[in-house]
Amino acid sequence: MNLILLSPEDIENDHLARVRDPRRLAHLTEVHRARAGDVMTLGIANGRLGRGALLTLDEREAVFDVSGLDQAPPPPLPVHLVLALPRPRMLARTLEHVTALGVKELTLLNTRRVEKSYWQSPELGDDKIRRHLVLGLEQARDTRLPTVTLAKGFRPFVEDRLPALLAGRQGLLAHPGMAEACPRGVETPTLLVVGPEGGFIPWEVERLLATGCRGIHLGPRILRVETAVTALLSRLF
């Protein structure tokens, strides 16, 4: 935790916040070895961040002075990431990576090569997803929670939702063998589509291109999804 992320329920007034959940209390005690008087980096979910003192800490709660939180969170990436649902363990890590990198809009998409069982995973529960997003924010010292949308049908997503998402955004489909190399240093709002392990099937590629995405590639190397997503975001933005 490079930042203690406070949720709205933690905030008592303009000056005080109380943290009571076991995860953050344990982290404060065991990892930070925090003591009353320590000044730490604090942030309010979807709000400002800055330095603030830990006023008291016991096994029940930690009380922080939040009167000095005067910084805006770091700028988000101008991207809506559409990612074929990864297998559960990789989903957890990928949610943390992309949140730390500054993604604020994420759609998890069904495709032919996504195993059906992945949609039953407890990792897709709201609480589980939120937990990984919070870990990513705490890592990167950010406060703005991404929104995560589940798109359980490929065709309905492409036909009903993709055209509206592409209004005002360039659409990029990352897929091996496409003609164009991944561009660098993009500032235009972008929708980035990344397939599953094993890739999109040709029909899916065709539908995404026909709906207005441009195909891009990252070179001849085949990367795991979590590596590819980080590589694409870092090269693009």
| Minimum distance from residue 104 beta carbon to a second copy (Å) | 13
Nearer to a second copy, 96 or 123 (CB): 96
| Minimum distance from residue 152 beta carbon to a second copy (Å) | 26
Query: Measured between alpha carbons, how far is residue 142 from residues 20, 26, 58, 145 in Å?
Result: 21, 21, 26, 8
| Minimum distance from residue 165 beta carbon to a second copy (Å) | 25
**Nearest one of 199, 229, 190 to 96, comparing CA atoms:** 229
Nearer to a second copy, 97 or 207 (CB): 97
Nearer to a second copy, 128 or 235 (CB): 235
Residue 69 to residue 30: CA distance in whole angstroms? 25
Bridge pairing between strands 16-19 and 62-65: antiparallel
The amino acid sitting at 141 is: R
| Minimum distance from residue 146 beta carbon to a second copy (Å) | 14
CB within 8 A of 167, min separation 6: which ones?
Answer: none
Which tokens belong to 30? 């065991």
Residue 86 to residue 108: CA distance in whole angstroms? 8
| Minimum distance from residue 212 beta carbon to a second copy (Å) | 25
Nearer to a second copy, 85 or 236 (CB): 236
Nearer to a second copy, 140 or 173 (CB): 140
Angle (CA) 43-46-50 rounded to 5° is 25
**Binding residues for a second copy (CB under 8 A):** 2, 74, 96-97, 100-102, 139-142, 184-185, 218-224, 227, 230-235
Query: Measured between alpha carbons, how far is residue 37 from residues 18, 65, 131 in Å?
Result: 15, 10, 28
Nearer to a second copy, 25 or 137 (CB): 137
| Minimum distance from residue 237 beta carbon to a second copy (Å) | 9
Nearer to a second copy, 153 or 219 (CB): 219
| Minimum distance from residue 185 beta carbon to a second copy (Å) | 6
Q: If DSSP codes are grouped into helix, strand and coil, which group holds residue 82?
A: strand
Angle (CA) 15-18-19 rounded to 5° is 140
Q: If DSSP codes are grouped into helix, strand and coil, which group holds residue 17?
A: strand
